[in-house]
Amino acid sequence: MTLLPSRLSLNTVTVREQWSLEQCIDGCIRHGFGGIAPWRHDLHDCGIDTAAKLIRESGLKVSGLIRGGFFTADGLTVSDAVIDDNKRAVDEALAIGADCLVMVVGGLAKDTKDLHGARMAVAHGLHELMIYARPAGMPIAIEPLHPMYAADRGCINTMRQVNELCDELGPGVGAAVDVYHTWWDPNLEREIEAAGPNRLMAFHVCDWLVPTRDLLLDRGMMGDGVIDLSLIRSYVEAQGYTGLIEVEIFSRDNWWRKDPDDVLETVIRRAKEFV
């Protein structure tokens, strides 16, 4: 089905080098986007109350707040500081009316090689967070990251792991499915099906460039890479996902250098053609 701009949400990282949050909101409205997905530092730069007011008045939906997590930042025992910061992230997500708070869970603890321990710490941190987030009514969306980030960003790397965590943690927690992180997974369709509608909380698109020149900052515009985007969209929509399709492109050497209005026009055109 052809994607209208009203189905799209702009993850503000896509024009991070060009626009402030205020400019992103204006840009989304100008181009007819249905939603926006800000980062916490956007809210802090703008002031949370001001950001919440601007977003509310814009009529844009918020497909997610990026991001909580990093449970292993202070070691394999999740610190109070980390939990408190995640609770603040929940409060901020509530303030802006976000559909979910996206979790980048954290990688190995500093100076360790204990991947299993890191995963145990993440499960523990999420458990602690859910005690706060569940009664507050803020859905927590775990974003499985591509395994190349297991050491430094996220040690939850597949939808299978997310489903297992969700089974442990109970309601209110689900997945943010980002094609960049999940496209390679031979079990993707099966695990998206296992997640089902309640756990599919966000869907992020961009493309995988060949070659990829930077592990973090060289994501492609939809259509410039090798991901079968419409196929993965069909997996999530087969489960009843009707939420926004969030465009999230980290691109230091290309899209961050372009006129942001051109970037948004390109996003709309490519989403229609390739997603």
* Burial class of residue 115 in the structure, from the number of CB atoms within 10 Å of its CB (0-12 exposed, 13-18 middle, 19+ buried): middle
- Count of CB atoms within 10 A of residue 226's CB? 11
Stretch that binds Zn ion, among 189-197, 202-210, 249-257, 263-271 (CB under 5 A): 202-210
3-state secondary structure of 4: coil
Distance (Å) of CA 111 to CA 51, 104, 115, 244: 38, 20, 12, 39
From 151-159, 224-232, 244-252, 264-272, span contacting Zn ion (CB under 5 A): 244-252
CA dist., res. 80 & res. 84, Å (int): 6
248 binds Zn ion (CB under 5 A): yes
Count residues near Zn ion (CB under 5 A). Answer: 3
Q: Which two tokens stand for residue 123?
A: 């499960």
Among 61, 204, 219, 233, binds Zn ion (CB under 5 A): 204
Q: Phi/psi class of residue 59: alpha, beta or left (left: φ > 0; alpha: ψ in -120 to 50)?
A: left
Which of 178/185 has CB closer to Zn ion? 178
Does 92 sit near Zn ion (CB under 5 A)? no
In angstroms, give the least distance from the CB of 119 to Zn ion: 20
| 21 vs 175, beta carbon nearer Zn ion | 175
**For Zn ion, which is the closer residue by CB, 199 or 204?**
204
CB of 175 to Zn ion, least distance (A): 11
Supply the minimum distance, in Å, between the C-beta of residue 143 and Zn ion: 5
- What's the min distance (Å) between Cβ of 65 and Zn ion? 12
Contact with Zn ion (CB under 5 A) among 92, 178, 191, 207: 178
Non-local (6+) Cβ contacts of 1 within 8 A are none
Between 13 and 123, whose beta carbon lies closer to Zn ion?
13
Sole window of 78-86, 131-139, 197-205, 265-273 interacting with Zn ion (rule: CB under 5 A):
197-205
Distance, in Å, from the CA atom of 54 to the CA atom of 39, rounded to the nearest integer, reads: 15
Q: How far is the CB of 39 from Zn ion (least distance, A)?
A: 11
Q: Residue 111 gets which letter from DSSP?
A: T
Q: Which stretch binds Zn ion (CB under 5 A): 75-83, 129-137, 199-207, 223-231?
A: 199-207
What b/e sequence results for 236-271 when a residue is b if at least 16 CB atoms lie within 10 Å of its CB, and e otherwise? bbeeebebbbbbbbbbeebbbeeebeebbebbbebb
Residue 233 within binding range of Zn ion, rule CB under 5 A: no
* Contacting residues toward Zn ion, per CB under 5 A: 178, 204, 248
